[in-house]
Structure 1
Amino acid sequence: MKVKTKRKVPYIEPLQQTECGVCCIGMILRYYKSYQTMQELREHLDVGRDGSTLLQLKQLMDKLNFDTKVYKSSAEGLKDIKLPAILFWDNNHFVVLEKISEKYAVILDPGYGRRKISFKELKETYSQYALSGQPNEKFMPKKKGKSIWFDFIPIISSKKSLYIKIAIFSIISYFLTLGMPIFIQNLLDSVMLKKDINYVRDSTIFLGLFCVVYVLFNYIKNTNLIKLKVHIDKNVNSTVFGHLLRVPYKFFDIRNKSDVLFSANSCFVIRETFANQMINGLIDCGAVLFISYYMYKQSVLLALIAFLIFGVNLVLVALTQPMMFEFSKYLLSEQSKVQGVQVESIFSILGIKMSAIEDDIFENWSKKYGSYLSKYNTKERVNNYVNTLISFIQVVSPVIILCVSISIYIKGYVTIGQVMAFYSLSSTFFSLAHSVFNTWTSFVNSSVYLERLGDIINTEKEDDSKSLIKKDITGDLKLENVSFAYSSKSEKVIKNVSLNIERGQKVAIVGKSGSGKSTLAKLLVGLYSPTGGDILFDKIPLNKLDKKYLRRQLGIVPQDVSLFNKSIYENISMGRNDIDMDKIKKACEITQIAEEIESMPMGYHTIISEMGMNLSGGQRQRIVLARAILNEPKILILDEATSSLDYINEKQVSDYFKNIGCTRIVIAHRLSTIIDSDMIIVLDNGEILDYGSHMELLKRKGQYFKLYQANFNNEKEVHESVAV
């Protein structure tokens, strides 16, 4: 079977930080006119947060019925490889090689789009390995699925009455617009025949009333259009943001936060495209057909000339549209990167200032912004050429029609009224045709934004089935051979961990950096699901519990906390009506933050800036601790969460949670905070290396002994502790 191919390799933009390999496979599939979605390819490959290897890409292409081969070659050797091929790039990336010659190469970089690079740059950046593959006899290209627009139609079509009103008033307005030339035709023909001044006067009055009615109907249409825009905006934004809040934590873990923000803010495209373009576009199509029929009935010759010019316009748009669509993809990708640098810089401004790297950050932003401007300039220049040509056709076409109609008027085939009507209608015809082309182009280009929004709404939400158990837990927690890997292709970061934690116990988890402590904490609160084993709360497996209901009974205080752009009072109470100011003050006194809050001009009503950036790290941490005290969680996870407290207050907080029977799991970096733990677990490379009390572990002189020794840097103190 001969497989059809495209003229060029289509570009696919990555929406996850580590999916450049998946994008490359997607581009090659589309080159062979097979339209697997990115979601389908992600499910096949399961990239996770660590990316993919060339071997994994080969295995996926084999699975998709490609005959593949991995080459180890120099840049010169790439000339003998069947293209397109996937190249290992700069030792950390994948690109598609589309074309190569003695002087240059054309690559599709998932991060930057199509690039023409010198052979020298190819030699410097190509990392010796290439994957080439061609479809075999079992290959069956997948047809295009439904348009991404269909995912949004149920969201925006609930107010059918508004659409009907807008359609009715739009149709009436169009008929009034089209009726004007016909009325003028009859007026001119009648005046030429009757030469009656009274008829002219009556016709002028009628024309005035005609204009008033036209303006009135247009006003009503536009009023309803505004209502529709508000309705679409509300529905789309509510749906997208509501869905975004309910997707699994993994979604955010493998995506750039600024990319997610950029995608969520793309909702305006649906409002503008659907409200402005779709309804008008459909009515414009109807108007074009109506005018075409009327012109054909009036003069076949003039109608055929108009249709021929329309055909030239259509071919021009069809030829340039794929190129403009690709430009739109590049531009959107660059725009997202520029915003990413800006957002990252604003939230990291303290580190930037402390490191005095403002110039470096600005240079990085300038490069990305320069790349954006370059692509914007290219797109607009091409757009300008196309629009100039279309505008020229639009202006010249009625003149051509007028010249031809005058010549046939002289021969007596049409009346002067028909000449004027045809000229006026042809102007409207070409204007509406241009509008139809613009609508088509807008819908195609807006698909770039919709792909990003689709990435959000097509991601499955966390399981919130009614069959899940809503249980008030006591604080007993058990882990049975729990393992976890970020993807099915990556190594396990938690390996066969078994624990039995009883209600009210204080359990500490220690280990070197990267040993899996924070990952284990996220597993315990259900942010990740184990890939093996079970986590049980009061003997009930986590996957059978309603996670939302469960998390309301859990507390987690991370080392690096962020707060909401609300008052301190609201950040602590979190909307609970059963909490009064006295309780909040008491919680703040326990966490040693009350005095600092009360010294602020607005006290507990002081507004915290975004992410809590107007407070110190210690203040943010203590506010979150105060929130945890008020919530009285059954299980509390503390990730070095008391580092901002002195010893007395740290003990006060610890005793408070102990007295209410709260199970505490402490991820410790400062070992002095965990000496009184009921059990200390030593984690190494995702496995439990040792466990026991502080004294038991010191006596064994294992990994904990070394950590404790390094922590205090006082071997004598350690030996004295062991002797005691």
Structure 2
Amino acid sequence: MGSLKSLLKIIPFIKKYRLFFCIGMVGTILCSVASVPIPYFIGYILDNVVAGSKSYKALYYYIGLIALLYVLRYVISFVAQYMFAKVSNEVTNEMRYSVIGKVLDLPMNYLSSTEKGYVQSRIGECGNVSVVFSPSNIGLVLGLVDAVAAAIAMFSLNFKLALVTVVLSPVFYFSSKASAGGFMKVTHQMLESNAVLNGECFEIINGIEDIKILNGKENQLKRFKTKLDDLVKKSIKQSKSILIFIENITIANNIGTLIILLIAGILIIRGQFTIGLYTSFSLYIGRVFGASQGLATAGTTIKPACMSIERLYELLDMKGEDDGKTKNIENIIDSIKAENVTFRYNNNDRNVINSLSFEINKGEKVLLRGENGSGKSTLIKLLVGLYTPNEGNILFNNTDLTTINNKSLRDRIGIVSQSIFLFRGTVLDNILYGQNEKKREDVELLIKKLNLEAYINRLPKGLDSEISQNTAGISGGQAQVIAFIRAMLLEKDVVILDEPISNVDVETRDIILNILKNNEYKGILIVVSHIVDNMEFINKVIEF
């Protein structure tokens, strides 16, 4: 985990912003070019101006030249860093968009067996990718360019001392790299533990109402504390690894500096080197040693980002629910057939549906009848392609469901599910959700046709009433009617109503039943219910 090769996976996301990226890279190189002469000028000032000619004019000239180079480097660096910051934000958001899109395409058998908080944590790791373009990592690129230029300058100053520096650089590199290994292993463990903890947090927040009702606070806190303790343990191990890592780098750097000082001191005593040259040399040495250590320790910043990239690609590389489903439903759905359909959920030995067969044709109003838990809602999930039968076949117009593209299928099926989910926004926004061709006028006409004007007008602001979160702000019956209007507005070939009258008030039940009785529907109508009273409009029953 955390291989630097993972960085190649973000290239497709960078391509769109390659101009900004290239400007940043060119600016990084120019920064190095602008700063290369500075150590040489400093040494020259000490040897030839301060200790030599003692000329104020020469001193002012070289100080001004160095200042000019500093300003030039500042301007170029600012532009380069800004370009990288722009690329960082754009790439991160592109990845976040792609990951969310992928999650929406993933099969339900994966999503239903994975904690939502865990998936959410994975999505959150998109933010870690921005570290790749952080100033410290861009500085690493700049440092490598500086190190090459500094090495060339060092050999021009003193061949022997430069050779010693080059020999010591690999020692610093491998000692630093060895120190970073343990840190990266612990960091990966901490990221995984953090994702698990986030999943627990999501579950607590999502189920807080039931936790309160069932007095489950102590039990929930106990579970949370177990996962929290695991994260704390791994975080402490990571902190320990960081301290060892930093101290090892410090001691290696100090020893290297002492070795260079010893050799330079001997050369100065012998008259083979000068204080000014040593000053220049020391500044160049800092760049070479810094680049060696920076390259070795890049893992402390880049590899966590690489881990996040790999973890994100675990999602991005998954097969979507439409993988291999290449056929589209081109014509109106005339028939639905089930042939010995058997289904069980993941890690469940019990069949929820066992050898079910039936046929439904256009114009039929079908009741799926059975007790709670008998598999009626599960069949609906199969019919809309959320799950695939373990055995048997479901056919639409004699085409196997496993070969039909889900978008093509769902474009022709309208559904009011048993658990209504409404999105933030107005009632109108929720009715028009997923519609590109329908407008407010279409909704108002349908409401009038269904005789629901008085019902909708009782809402605080009618169609413009706000729904803050899920069904907050409206009753369960109102949510059911909103979802019902949404399904009828679509004018689908198949309309499925999953327990439309089971958990609603008397008024809502009567409204829905009257609409079903008094409005002609030419497609296939499927009603899932264990209540059969007032269902005279039904002309076919499938028993569970």
User: Normalising by structure 1, what TM-score?
Assistant: 0.68
- Is the 1:480–1:535 contact (alpha carbons within 8 Å) kept by the matching residues of 2? yes
Q: How far apart are residue 513 of structure 1 and its match?
A: 4.7
* Whole-Å separation in 2 of the counterparts to 1:661 and 1:409: 101
Give the match for residue 526 of structure 2: 665
Q: How far apart are residue 276 of structure 1 and its match?
A: 4.8
1:158 equivalent among 4, 9, 16? 16
* Whole-Å separation in 2 of the counterparts to 1:466 and 1:559: 27
Matched ranges for 1:41-120 at <5 A: none
Give the match for residue 173 of structure 2: 314
Letter in 2 for 1:622: V
**Which stretch shifts more, 423-432 or 294-303?**
294-303
Gaps in structure 1 of 5+ consecutive residues = 1-11, 13-143, 684-724
* Whole-Å separation in 1 of the counterparts to 2:3 and 2:338: 43
Letter in 1 for 2:193: E
- Is the 2:328–2:404 contact (alpha carbons within 8 Å) kept by the matching residues of 1? yes
Give the match for residue 680 of structure 1: 541
Matched ranges for 1:254-265 at <5 A: 254-265=113-124
Instruction: Map Cα deviations across residues 184-234 of structure 1 (whole Å, 9 max, x no partner).
Output: 122333223433332222222222222221111112112212221232123
Instruction: Map Cα deviations across residues 235-272 of structure 1 (whole Å, 9 max, x no partner).
Output: 22222222222233333123221111111121122222
Alpha carbons of structure 1 residues 543 and 313: separation in structure 2 relative to 1, 3 Å: same
Secondary structure, aligned partner of 1:201: helix
Instruction: Map Cα deviations across residues 652-699 of structure 1 (whole Å, 9 max, x no partner).
Output: 23225x61224222332334475753233233xxxxxxxxxxxxxxxx
Give the match for residue 578 of structure 1: 438
- Is the 1:296–1:303 contact (alpha carbons within 8 Å) kept by the matching residues of 2? yes
* Structure 1 residue 442 corresponds to structure 2 residue 301: yes
1:655 equivalent among 517, 521, 530? 517
Alpha carbons of structure 1 residues 306 and 616: separation in structure 2 relative to 1, 3 Å: farther
Residue identity (%): 23
Matched ranges for 1:602-613 at <5 A: 602-613=461-472
* Structure 1 residue 452 corresponds to structure 2 residue 311: yes
Matched ranges for 1:229-628 at <5 A: 229-274=88-133, 276=135, 279-307=138-166, 309-394=168-253, 397-398=256-257, 400-463=259-322, 468-484=327-343, 493-574=352-433, 575-580=435-440, 583-584=443-444, 587=447, 595=455, 598-600=458-460, 602-628=461-487
* Whole-Å separation in 1 of the counterparts to 2:117 and 2:256: 47
Q: How far apart are residue 384 of structure 1 and its match?
A: 1.6
* Whole-Å separation in 2 of the counterparts to 1:483 and 1:315: 59
* Whole-Å separation in 1 of the counterparts to 2:359 and 2:370: 19
- Is the 2:428–2:440 contact (alpha carbons within 8 Å) kept by the matching residues of 1? no
Q: How far apart are residue 627 of structure 1 and its match?
A: 1.0
* Whole-Å separation in 2 of the counterparts to 1:318 and 1:230: 29
* Whole-Å separation in 1 of the counterparts to 2:349 and 2:13: 38
Q: How far apart are residue 160 of structure 1 and its match?
A: 2.4
Give the match for residue 47 of structure 1: none
Letter in 2 for 1:578: K
- Is the 2:416–2:497 contact (alpha carbons within 8 Å) kept by the matching residues of 1? yes
Q: How far apart are residue 145 of structure 1 and its match?
A: 10
- Is the 2:3–2:306 contact (alpha carbons within 8 Å) kept by the matching residues of 1? no
Backbone CA RMSD of aligned residues: 3.2
Letter in 1 for 2:512: E
Give the match for residue 178 of structure 1: 36
Secondary structure, aligned partner of 1:158: helix
Alpha carbons of structure 1 residues 180 and 263: separation in structure 2 relative to 1, 3 Å: same
- Is the 2:365–2:524 contact (alpha carbons within 8 Å) kept by the matching residues of 1? yes
Letter in 2 for 1:333: E
Letter in 1 for 2:362: R
Q: How far apart are residue 548 of structure 1 and its match?
A: 0.7
**Which stretch shifts more, 332-341 or 462-471?**
462-471
Secondary structure, aligned partner of 2:415: strand
Instruction: Map Cα deviations across residues 461-486 of structure 1 (whole Å, 9 max, x no partner).
Output: 34388963342424522223334455
Secondary structure, aligned partner of 2:466: coil
Secondary structure, aligned partner of 2:525: strand
Instruction: Map Cα deviations across residues 39-69 of structure 1 (whole Å, 9 max, x no partner).
Output: xxxxxxxxxxxxxxxxxxxxxxxxxxxxxxx
Give the match for residue 46 of structure 2: 188
- Is the 1:584–1:630 contact (alpha carbons within 8 Å) kept by the matching residues of 2? no
* Whole-Å separation in 1 of the counterparts to 2:480 and 2:422: 9
Secondary structure, aligned partner of 1:352: helix
Letter in 1 for 2:280: A
Q: How far apart are residue 177 of structure 1 and its match?
A: 2.5
* Whole-Å separation in 2 of the counterparts to 1:674 and 1:422: 93
Size of the aligned set, in residue pairs, is: 539
Letter in 2 for 1:650: I
Alpha carbons of structure 1 residues 492 and 432: separation in structure 2 relative to 1, 3 Å: same
* Whole-Å separation in 2 of the counterparts to 1:477 and 1:463: 20
Letter in 2 for 1:244: V
**Which stretch shifts more, 469-478 or 236-245?**
469-478
* Whole-Å separation in 2 of the counterparts to 1:186 and 1:216: 25
Give the match for residue 641 of structure 1: 500
Letter in 2 for 1:315: F
- Is the 1:587–1:630 contact (alpha carbons within 8 Å) kept by the matching residues of 2? no
Letter in 2 for 1:440: G
* Whole-Å separation in 1 of the counterparts to 2:4 and 2:40: 42
- Is the 2:4–2:306 contact (alpha carbons within 8 Å) kept by the matching residues of 1? no
Q: How far apart are residue 170 of structure 1 and its match?
A: 0.6
Alpha carbons of structure 1 residues 662 and 645: separation in structure 2 relative to 1, 3 Å: farther
Instruction: Map Cα deviations across residues 401-432 of structure 1 (whole Å, 9 max, x no partner).
Output: 33442332121121222110111122233333
Q: How far apart are residue 567 of structure 1 and its match?
A: 1.7
Letter in 2 for 1:651: L
Give the match for residue 15 of structure 1: none
* Whole-Å separation in 1 of the counterparts to 2:217 and 2:441: 42
- Is the 2:494–2:525 contact (alpha carbons within 8 Å) kept by the matching residues of 1? yes
- Is the 2:193–2:230 contact (alpha carbons within 8 Å) kept by the matching residues of 1? yes
- Is the 1:517–1:667 contact (alpha carbons within 8 Å) kept by the matching residues of 2? yes
Letter in 1 for 2:32: Y
- Is the 2:369–2:530 contact (alpha carbons within 8 Å) kept by the matching residues of 1? yes
Q: How far apart are residue 571 of structure 1 and its match?
A: 0.7
Letter in 2 for 1:383: I
- Is the 1:588–1:594 contact (alpha carbons within 8 Å) kept by the matching residues of 2? no
- Is the 1:573–1:584 contact (alpha carbons within 8 Å) kept by the matching residues of 2? no
- Is the 1:572–1:584 contact (alpha carbons within 8 Å) kept by the matching residues of 2? no
1:226 equivalent among 77, 82, 85? 85
Matched ranges for 1:21-40 at <5 A: none
**Which stretch shifts more, 546-555 or 146-155?**
146-155
